[in-house]
């Protein structure tokens, strides 16, 4: 993932009411900085189709503005609340489709993969993830809200999991 020219990674924590996003810029061998962090919000009283259209429009705007090299999305996992799982799946589909239409690579990571990559432990809680995101991005305060922090963690997970990152780390340790 480390590149000679700057490239952007868009991290998405999908959700219908709150969809977290983070744009991280990767430059050189180790420089990672935050370009954008936030939450796309929809109102629960709106029709589902309007909420999805609103999120799709915002995702399109993020893709157009930041032109990421890759979009990293949290993979949905089985939840006891079927309604929540369905809405998260619908938003994930919007994101995957928007990126694919632009020819942007899409990767998905499970919540445990993200936690493991960020904290070193797949069972970490949200506070531990927020603390590590703050530390890794050299932020002055904890990233908030939690959905935005999760999106930053997803993008960081991709950067840490990238084959190029592994190669750079091996070269730094003297392996070929």
pLDDT tens-digit map of 34-54: 999 999 999 999 999 999 999
Q: Does residue 147 carry a catalytic annotation?
A: yes
pLDDT tens-digit map of 142-172: 999 999 999 999 999 999 987 655 544 444 4
Catalytic residue among 47, 64, 65, 74: 74
Catalytic residue among 125, 147, 150, 170: 147
Tokens 């503005």 label which residue? 65
Q: Does residue 13 carry a catalytic annotation?
A: yes
- pLDDT (0 to 100) of residue 84: 80
Q: Does residue 60 carry a catalytic annotation?
A: no
The residue extents of the domains of the chain are: 3-172
- pLDDT (0 to 100) of residue 27: 87
Rounded to two decimals, what is the model's pTM?
A: 0.88
* Token pair in block for residue 167: 């190669």
CA separation, residue 53 to residues 40, 148, 153 (Å):
12, 20, 26
Question: Is it true that domain 3-172 has CATH number 3.40.640.10?
Answer: no
Tokens 């993979």 label which residue? 75
Residue segments in the chain with a per-residue pLDDT below the cut of 50: 167-173, 176
């Amino acid at each position: 993932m480390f590149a000679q020219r700057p490239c952007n990674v868009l991290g998405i924590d999908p959700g219908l009411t709150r969809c977290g996003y983070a744009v991280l810029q990767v430059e050189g061998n180790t420089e990672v900085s935050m370009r954008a962090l936030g939450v796309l919000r929809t109102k629960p009283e709106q029709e589902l189709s309007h909420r999805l259209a609103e999120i799709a429009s915002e995702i399109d705007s993020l893709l157009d503005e930041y032109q990421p090299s890759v979009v990293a999305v949290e993979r949905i996992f089985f939840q006891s609340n079927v309604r929540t799982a369905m809405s998260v799946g619908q938003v994930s589909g919007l994101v995957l489709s928007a990126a694919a239409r632009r020819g942007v690579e899409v990767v998905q990571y499970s919540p445990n993969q993200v936690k493991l990559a960020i904290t070193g432990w797949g069972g970490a809680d949200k506070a531990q993830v927020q603390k590590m995101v703050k530390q890794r991005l050299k932020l002055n305060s904890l990233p908030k809200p939690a959905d935005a922090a999760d999106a930053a963690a997803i993008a960081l997970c991709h950067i840490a999991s990238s084959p190029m990152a592994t190669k750079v780390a091996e070269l730094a340790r003297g392996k070929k």
